[in-house]
């Protein structure tokens, strides 16, 4: 057990020291097949414009290209 500081300055600093928080272990969410997650990524503006030029569904088109790239690397 830690002793209390005898010096008033040390005692005051101990009172205002940041509290030690215990971090709960991260829980990994179960993977559900074919689900989509909301993410934020940085894409070059010309790449984004390319996919958006064809109208709605541009996010699905980006996803399709990324999925195709994954399958080519397998």
Backbone φ and ψ of 49, nearest 5° = -60, -40
Q: Which domain holds residue 72?
A: 39-74
Q: Does some domain include residue 63?
A: yes
**What would the mean pLDDT of 20-34 be, rounded to a whole number?**
74
Q: Does some domain include residue 13?
A: no
Q: For position 68, what pLDDT does the model report?
A: 95
pLDDT above 70: residue 2 = no
Residue of higher predicted confidence among 37 and 19: 37
Q: Which two tokens stand for residue 54?
A: 């064809």
Q: How many domains does the chain have?
A: 1
Phi/psi zone of residue 34: left (φ > 0), alpha (ψ -120 to 50 degrees), beta? left
Q: For position 49, what pLDDT does the model report?
A: 96
Q: Does some domain include residue 53?
A: yes
Q: Does some domain include residue 44?
A: yes
């Amino acid at each position: 057990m830690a002793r209390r500081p005898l010096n008033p300055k040390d005692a005051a600093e101990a009172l205002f020291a940041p509290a030690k928080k215990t971090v709960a272990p991260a829980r990994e969410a179960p993977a559900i097949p074919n689900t989509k997650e909301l993410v934020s990524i940085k894409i070059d503006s010309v790449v984004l414009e390319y996919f958006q030029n064809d109208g709605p569904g541009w996010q699905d088109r980006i996803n399709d290209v990324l999925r195709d790239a994954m399958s080519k690397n397998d």
